[in-house]
C-alpha cells in the first residue's frame, strides 16, 4: 500500500551520545505515534476520497490532486527536511512538523472547496517532510547499542507496515459512521497526544558544522514535478496536443533539467548526483519510481471501484483492500530471509512479475466481479509482489555508499517512491478519464453505458500500471549487477 512505504529520511550526521538516554523507550513510543499519524494519512484518505469528491464537487480529472498534492510536496521536500532536522535541531523540527501537520489536517477537514483541500494536503506533505526525517533521526541518535537499535527500528517498521491496514479500516469507519472529514481531523488528537508527550521527553540534538541548505534545488525540483503533474491533468481535460498540456509538461522537464544543473554546481547539494550515478543504486531508484507510479494510481482506482461500482460501504471497501497488506507482510518476511541467499535481483524481478500479473488480472474486472474468486487473489498476489520488491530495494539503496552519503541515499529511495506515485497517479488518472470519454463517444448515454465506460477506464489504468511495473522489472534485469555478497544486509531500515 502507499502507506506501507516508509519515509526513511536523512540520517543524522552528529556523533551519537556515549551513554544511552534514560527515557529513550518512552521517546520511542512518542515517535511511534507520530509515525502512525503519517502512515494513516496515506490510506485513510483514499477510502474517504469518493465521498470527499462528491461533497466538494471535485472533477474526475482533478481528484488525483488529493493524493498527489501530498506525495509531491512530501517527496520533493524530504531531503531538505532531513538536513533541516540535522542542523536546526531534531526535536524542534519534530515539534514544528507535528504542529504543522495537525493544523494542515484541520484545514483539510474543514475545507469547503476542492482547491482548499488540495492546498491542505500539500501543506501536510510539506510538514510531513519535516516530521518524518526528524523522527527517524532521533531514533538513530537515541538508540546507539546495535541490539536496542534493531528493536527500535522493528517497532518503527511495524507501525509503518501495520499502520496502512489500520488506516484502511479506520477510514472506512469514520467515513461511514461520522463524516469523511474526520479522516483528516483525526490527526489533531493524535498529534496533541504526541506533542504534549514529546515536549518533556524528547531531548534536543543537532549536527554541527556547515548548515547551508540547498533551497534553490528544493524549490526547483518541487516546481518541476508540480508542473509535470499539472500537465498530465490538463491532458485529461484538453488532450495531449493542447498548448497548455504541452507547455506545462515542457516547463516541468526544463525545471527538472535545471535542478540537475543546480545540484552539479552546489557546494551542498540537496541530492549529490554521485549517489545516482552508481549503476546499482541508479537502477534501484529507477525501479522504485516506476513501481510507485504503477501502484499508487491502482490503489486509487480500486477504492472507487469498490465503492462506486460494486456498491461497497466505506467500511467494506477498507476491509476489501486488506488482502494487499496481508500479501506484503507475507512476502516481506520471506524476502528478508531469502535476500542474503539469492540476492536482490532475482527477488525484485520475481516481485515485479507478480505485481504486473496481478495488475493484468485486475484489467478483467466487470460491473459485478466476484471478490472471492477474482479480487481477493489478485490483491494478495499484488501484495506478494510488493514485498518481494521493496525489501531488496532498501538494501540496494546503500550498496557502496560512503557513510556521509548514507542518509541522503536512503532518503532518495523513499523520495522516488513518493514522486513516482505522484506522477503515476496523475498519469493513470488521465488515461482513465480519456478512456471513459472515448468509450462514451458515439454511444447513447445511460446508466449501463456509463458503468461500462467506467469499467473500461479502470481496465486501461490497470493495464498502464502493469506496463510501468514491467518496465521496472526490465530495468532491474538490465541495470542491477550487484552480487548477494555485496549487499549490506540490515544496513537500511525502510519499515
Same domain for 354 and 240: no
Structure-block grid coordinates of residue 406: 548514507
* Grid cell at residue 419: 514522486
Residues 202 and 301 in one domain: no
Q: Is residue 204 part of a domain?
A: yes
320 occurs within a structural domain = yes
pLDDT at 272 exceeding the cut of 90: no
SS (H, E, C) 404-461: HHHHHHHHHHHHHHHHHHHHHHHHHHHHHHHHHHHHHCCCCCCHHHHHHHHHHHHHHH
Query: Tell me, what's the pLDDT at 267?
Result: 84
Residue span of the structural domain in which 227 resides: 214-267
Same domain, 323 and 206: no
Please name which of 128, 121, 156 lies closest in space to residue 140, comparing C-alpha atoms.
156
Q: In terms of domains, do 301 and 449 share one? A: yes
Residue 138 CA to residue 85 CA, distance in Å, equals 9
Q: How many CB atoms lie within 10 A of CB 331?
A: 26
- Nearest Cα residue to 1 out of 332, 397, 410, 337: 332
Average pLDDT, whole number, for the chain? Answer: 87
Whether residues 176 and 255 share a domain: the answer is: no
For residue 48, the model assigns a pLDDT of: 93
Instruction: Report pLDDT for 293.
Output: 92
Domains held by the chain: number: 3
Is residue 164 in some structural domain?
yes
Q: What is the pLDDT of residue 161?
A: 65
Q: For residue 381, give the CATH number of its domain.
A: 1.20.1250.20
Within a domain: 229: yes
Helices (H), 239-366: 243-265, 273-277, 279-304, 314-320, 322-342, 344-362
> Over 80: is that where the pLDDT of 33 sits?
yes
Is there a domain that residue 82 lies in? yes
- What pLDDT band is residue 16 in, cutting at 50, 70 and 90? very low
Higher pLDDT, residue 155 or 131? 131
Together in a domain, 70 and 196? yes
Same domain for 125 and 205, yes or no, is yes
For residues 205 and 219, membership in a common domain is answered with no
Least confident of 123-132, 268-277, 372-381: 268-277
Supply the pTM of this predicted model.
Answer: 0.87
Report the number of secondary-structure helices (H) and strands (E) in the chain. 17, 0
**17 belongs to a structural domain:** no
Claim to verify: residue 259 and residue 335 sit in the same structural domain: no
Enter the C-alpha cell of residue 341. 541467499
Identify whether 142 is part of a domain: yes
pLDDT for the residue numbered 209: 62
Residues 125 and 253 placed together within one structural domain of the fold:
no
Q: What is the DSSP string of 220-251?
A: HHHHHHHHHHHHHHHHHHH-TTSHHHHHHHHH
- The answer to whether residue 331 is domain-embedded is yes
Q: Are residues 162 and 32 in the same domain?
A: yes
**Residue that is written with C-alpha cell 520475481 in the block:** 350
Q: What is the pLDDT of residues 281-326, one digit of tens each?
A: 899 999 999 999 998 878 889 999 999 999 999 999 999 999 998 9
CA dist., res. 355 & res. 324, Å (int): 11
Does residue 15 have a pLDDT over 70?
no
How far is residue 392 from each of residues 2, 342, 420, measured CA to CA in Å? 17, 11, 18
pLDDT band, residue 13 (cuts 50/70/90)? very low
Q: Residues 49-100: pLDDT tens digits?
A: 999 999 999 999 999 999 999 989 998 888 888 888 888 888 999 999 999 9
Contact 164, 3 (CB under 8 A): yes
Q: Kindly report each contact of residues 103-111 with a partner whose C-beta sits within 8 Å and lies 24 or more positions away, as own/partner.
A: 105/41, 105/184, 105/185, 105/186, 105/187, 105/188, 105/191, 106/184, 106/185, 106/188, 108/184, 109/181, 109/182, 109/183, 109/184, 109/185, 109/188, 110/181, 110/185, 111/56, 111/181
Whether 174 and 317 share a structural domain = no
Spatial separation of the C-alpha atoms in residues 70 and 101, rounded to whole Å: 11
Mark which of 212, 232, 253 sits at the end of a domain. Answer: 212
pLDDT tens digit sequence for 462-481: 999 999 999 999 999 999 88
Amino acid at each position: 500500500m502507499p502507506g506501507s512505504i516508509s519515509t526513511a529520511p536523512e540520517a543524522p550526521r552528529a556523533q551519537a551520545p556515549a551513554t544511552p538516554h534514560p527515557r529513550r523507550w518512552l521517546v520511542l513510543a512518542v515517535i511511534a505515534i507520530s509515525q502512525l499519524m503519517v502512515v494513516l494519512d496515506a490510506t485513510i484518505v483514499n477510502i474517504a476520497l469518493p465521498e470527499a469528491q462528491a461533497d466538494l464537487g471535485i472533477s474526475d480529472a482533478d481528484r488525483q490532486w488529493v493524493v498527489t498534492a501530498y506525495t509531491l510536496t512530501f517527496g520533493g521536500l524530504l531531503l531538505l527536511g532531513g538536513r533541516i532536522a540535522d542542523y536546526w535541531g531534531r526535536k524542534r523540527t519534530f515539534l514544528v512538523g507535528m504542529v504543522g501537520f495537525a493544523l494542515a489536517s484541520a484545514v483539510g477537514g474543514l475545507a469547503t472547496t476542492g482547491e482548499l483541500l488540495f492546498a491542505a494536503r500539500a501543506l501536510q506533505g510539506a510538514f510531513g517532510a519535516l516530521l518524518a526525517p526528524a523522527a527517524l533521526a532521533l531514533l538513530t541518535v537515541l538508540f546507539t547499542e546495535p541490539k536496542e537499535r534493531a528493536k527500535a527500528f522493528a517497532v518503527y517498521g511495524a507501525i509503518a507496515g501495520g499502520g496502512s491496514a489500520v488506516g484502511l479500516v479506520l477510514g472506512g469507519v469514520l467515513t461511514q459512521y461520522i463524516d469523511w472529514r474526520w479522516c483528516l481531523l483525526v490527526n489533531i488528537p493524535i498529534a496533541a497526544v504526541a506533542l504534549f508527550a514529546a515536549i518533556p521527553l524528547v531531548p534536543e540534538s543537532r549536527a554541527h558544522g556547515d548548515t547551508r541548505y540547498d533551497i534553490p534545488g528544493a524549490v526547483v525540483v518541487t516546481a518541476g514535478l508540480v508542473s509535470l503533474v499539472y500537465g498530465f491533468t490538463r491532458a485529461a481535460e484538453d488532450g495531449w496536443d493542447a498548448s497548455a498540456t504541452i507547455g506545462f509538461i515542457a516547463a516541468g522537464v526544463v525545471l527538472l533539467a535545471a535542478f540537475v544543473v543546480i545540484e552539479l554546481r552546489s557546494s551542498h547539494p540537496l541530492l549529490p548526483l554521485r549517489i545516482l550515478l552508481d549503476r546499482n543504486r541508479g537502477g534501484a531508484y529507477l525501479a522504485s519510481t516506476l513501481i510507485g507510479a504503477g501502484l499508487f494510481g491502482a490503489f486509487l482506482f480500486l477504492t472507487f471501484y469498490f465503492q462506486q461500482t460494486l456498491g461497497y460501504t466505506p467500511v467494506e471497501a477498507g476491509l476489501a483492500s486488506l488482502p494487499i497488506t496481508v500479501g506484503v507482510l507475507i512476502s516481506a518476511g520471506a524476502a528478508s530471509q531469502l535476500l542474503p541467499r539469492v540476492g536482490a535481483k532475482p527477488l525484485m524481478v520475481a516481485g515485479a512479475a507478480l505485481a504486473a500479473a496481478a495488475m493484468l488480472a485486475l484489467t478483467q474486472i466487470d460491473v459485478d466481479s466476484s471478490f472471492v474468486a477474482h479480487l481477493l487473489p489478485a490483491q494478495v498476489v499484488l501484495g506478494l509482489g510488493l514485498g518481494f520488491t521493496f525489501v531488496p530495494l532498501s538494501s540496494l539503496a546503500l550498496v557502496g555508499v560512503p557513510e556521509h552519503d548514507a542518509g541522503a541515499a536512503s532518503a532518495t529511495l523513499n523520495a522516488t517512491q513518493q514522486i513516482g506515485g505522484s506522477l503515476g497517479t496523475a498519469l493513470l488518472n488521465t488515461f482513465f478519464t480519456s478512456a471513459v470519454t472515448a468509450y462514451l463517444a458515439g454511444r447513447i448515454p445511460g446508466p449501463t453505458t456509463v458503468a461500462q465506460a467506467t469499467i473500461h477506464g479502470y481496465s486501461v489504468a490497470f493495464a498502464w500500471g502493469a506496463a510501468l511495473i514491467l518496465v521496472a522489472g526490465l530495468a532491474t534485469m538490465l541495470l542491477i549487477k550487484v552480487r548477494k555478497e555485496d549487499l549490506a544486509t540490515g544496513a537500511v531500515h525502510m519499515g
